[in-house]
Each structure stands twice: as C-alpha cells, then as structure tokens.
Amino acid sequence: MKRLRAFFYVQHLLGIGHLARASRIAAALVDDGFDVTVVTGGAPIAGFPGPGVKSVTLPPVTSGDEGFSGLVDLQGKPIDDDFKKWRSEMLLQAFRDCRPDIVIVEAFPFGRRQMRFELLPLIEAIDATSPRPLLATSVRDILQERVKPGRNEETVDLINRHFDLVLVHGDPAFATIDKTFPLAGAIRAEVTYTGLVAAPPSPAASERFDVLVSVGGGAAGKSLVSSTIAAAQNANNAWKWCLITGPNLPKDEFDIARDATPGLSIFRFREDFASLLTGARLSVSQAGYNTVCDVLRAGCRSLLVPFAAGGETEQTVRALMLEELGLATVLMEKDLTPEGLAQAIEQALGGPTPSAHHLDLEGARRSAQILRERYRTWSLNVGPGFGKVHDQTDDRS
C-alpha cells in the first residue's frame, strides 16, 4: 500500500483549540500510516503538534484582541507586508519540500480570512502542481456565523473552485453544518462528517476535585479566572476546587492568583486534564470544541460559560444545544460574576446527572480513514499526471 503524504496547515490565533484538534487528527493520520507534515503559524505551545509528525513552524502571529481585528507578532507589533511575504514564501517552500498527496487546510475558507495573504498563494501552487494533490478543508461542526454581506458567498466560491473535500468534524445527529452556514447547500465539493474529534478515553483520575475549572488557552478567560477565585474564597463548604488557567494567562496575574485561597489548587496547565475530568463532580469551562469533547468523553456534570466577546457565536450555539440535550448547564458570559458563578455551580451540582449520549467521538480516526478512502477513489477518477482538474463550472460532488 502506498504511503501517502499529508500536508496539514493550522493557524491558531487566540486559544489553542484549533491546534489541539488538528494535532489529534495528525496523530490519527500517523497511526493510519501517513507521512504527515504539520505547518503551524501561532505562538508555540509545548506538546503540540505532537510526536510522529514533521513540524514546520512559520514566524508566529496571533490576534491583536478578542475580536480578531488584526494580526500581531509575539511582541504585539502589527505585522507588515514584508512579514507576510516572508511567511508566505516559507509556507510555499514547505509545500514544495513535502510533495504531498493530500493537503488539509484547517478552518479556511470558512474562517481564517486574515491568512488569505499566504493561503491563496498556497492554493494557486496546489492547482499548478502536477500531479495535483487532493485539497480538503477541516472544519468544526458549529461555525462562527458571518454577518458581513458576501462573506458566505465568497467561502462557497473558493470551495467550489479549489477544494475537493469538506471534512466536518461533528456528528450529524448533534449538528449539521447548515445550522450555522446557511449556504451549505451550494457547496459542490463532497461534504462528509467525521464524528467529533475527541481524545481517547483517559485513565482514572489521580486526584479528585469537586469543582474543576478550566480556561482553555487562557487568553480569553480572565473573567472566569477572577470569578472562580472569588467564588472559591467565599464558598461556605469543604469543596476541593481546581483552577487550570491555561498557558496564556499573563505571569503576574497567575502569580497573584496562585496563593489566593487554601481550598483552591491553581495550575497553568495539566497534561492529565482529561483524566481529572473523570474524577470531578463538576467541570466548569467555556464551550470550546475540544473542552466539550473532553467533558463528553468523561461523562461528568458540566457548567458551560460560552465565550461571546467580539461577536463570537459558535460557543453559545454549542452550549445551548448541549443544555437542550441535558448534557450541560449554561451560564452566559454577561452573567458571569462571582455570585452568579457560585449560584450556577450550586444549580449544576444539584441537578440530575448528565443524560446518556451516543454522540460519535471517534472523529480523529475516522478523518484518517475518510482521507485515505477519498484519495483512492479521487485519484482513480482523475487519473495519473493530472494538474488542475476543476474550475468554477465544475459540479463534481
């Protein structure tokens, strides 16, 4: 069997969710026998993208604020055209060095419009390559809803002109892409659901906490951190609290928080987070894709505080859908205060245990299988020595 080469582009800007999901898929590709090159373009995060893959690190950029209004370097300086040209040339060279059979672009063109300066040249290079690699986009099941006119049409146009496959990392029994992308029916590339990309089941917890609060990467969770500390200080009980702030919380804020109260254990990061969930009475978190997958895998009670700054809608949609299924309690970000958090925690702990769910959590493994199967049938249909194989008039599905 041919050892396929996969080239996987992922850009994280604020949190680490995109990178974590892509890393799980990359690991599954390696397990399936692929040679994998992962190209990352955000702030370096220890442990990602993981062992077994070739990693290419572009000069890092991040978001200037929670509204994703601009790109800055790690010193907070806005990037200029020279910086963009540097990154774009590095990305193109990495693509040429890999000579992939399959290219996977995480989020784009549904998201990451800020990266068009390097992704559009990459797509042009893909179309000009012979034999041309299969091009797939890798997206979560619930998308950020676009309010600017023409954005969804632009997304569909790019997909229909250049992409062969849309990998939706979700269970259609929970959410289909048309719920948050109204023009899904206009997509002519194949759209396929992989299941949710969750980590494998974890071993039993080495420590047990009553309330386990996690803030993802930490860049967008300062109010959850401060409210947790205050709620733990004011709690009139003997609960064991754990707060995982995320690696991006500024050091001075972390140092102040660490000695806040004896009943509260504070960590910047825990590699065994998924394991800790299995022993927690209650998980308190934002409603990011990866954290929700971890909570669903663990089966513990969940209180979700969806991130909603800068017009973000994705986490709120996910949280409310989970609450409707009896799998979570929701506290809206606008209601997040120490008192509001304490009351929501009491409510969540006093409620029924989460309903049993049958959502597919094997999306990483299934993604690898789908890519192998689709590449085989796609390459047979296109034939050897092909270059660019479709344009705006191509209606393959």
Tens of pLDDT, residue by residue over 220-274, are 578 899 899 999 988 888 899 999 987 767 777 777 667 667 789 999 888 899 9
Band of residue 396 on the pLDDT scale cut at 50, 70, 90: very low
Tell me the pLDDT tens digit for each residue of 44-64. 888 888 889 999 999 999 987
In this predicted structure, what is the pLDDT of residue 390? 42
Burial of 147: CB neighbours in 10 Å, binned 0-12, 13-18, 19+: exposed
In this predicted structure, what is the pLDDT of residue 361? 96
Tell me the pLDDT tens digit for each residue of 129-140. 999 999 999 999
Alpha-carbon torsion (358, 350, 209, 288), positive or negative: positive
Dist CA 252 CA 261 (whole Å): 17
In this predicted structure, what is the pLDDT of residue 218? 55
**Where are any strands of DSSP class E within the chain?**
5-10, 35-40, 54-57, 62-63, 71-72, 102-106, 134-140, 165-169, 190-193, 211-214, 241-244, 264-267, 282-285, 301-304, 329-330
- Whether the pLDDT of residue 189 is over 90: the answer is yes
The backbone torsions φ and ψ at residue 262, rounded to the nearest 5 degrees and listed phi first, read -65, -25
Q: What mean pLDDT comes out for the span 142-154?
A: 88
Band of residue 66 on the pLDDT scale cut at 50, 70, 90: low
- Look over the chain and give the mean of its residue pLDDT values, rounded to a whole number: 89
Dist CA 236 CA 242 (whole Å): 16
In this predicted structure, what is the pLDDT of residue 220? 59
Q: Which helix (H) or strand (E) holds 293?
A: helix 289-298
C-alpha dist (Å) from residue 223 to 205, 230, 330, 333 = 27, 11, 16, 9
What is the percentage of the chain residues whose pLDDT exceeds 70?
Answer: 91
Dist CA 78 CA 100 (whole Å): 32
Q: What mean pLDDT comes out for the span 93-97?
A: 98
> Quick count: other Cβ atoms within 10 Å of Cβ 67?
12
C-alpha dist (Å) from residue 237 to 229, 261, 351 = 14, 13, 18
The first and second tokens of residue 192, run together, are 């396929």
Tell me the pLDDT tens digit for each residue of 274-332. 999 999 999 999 999 999 999 999 999 999 999 888 788 999 999 999 999 999 999 99
In this predicted structure, what is the pLDDT of residue 248? 67
Half-sphere exposure of 4 (CA within 13 A, CB side): 25
The first and second tokens of residue 348, run together, are 């969540």
The first and second tokens of residue 353, run together, are 């245990």
Q: Burial code of 320-357, b = ≥16 C-beta within 10 A, e = fewer?
A: bbbeeeebbbbbebeebebebbbebbeebeeeeebeee
Tell me the pLDDT tens digit for each residue of 1-41. 679 999 999 999 877 889 999 999 999 999 999 999 999 99
Of 298, 289, 143, the residue nearest 216 (C-alpha)? 289
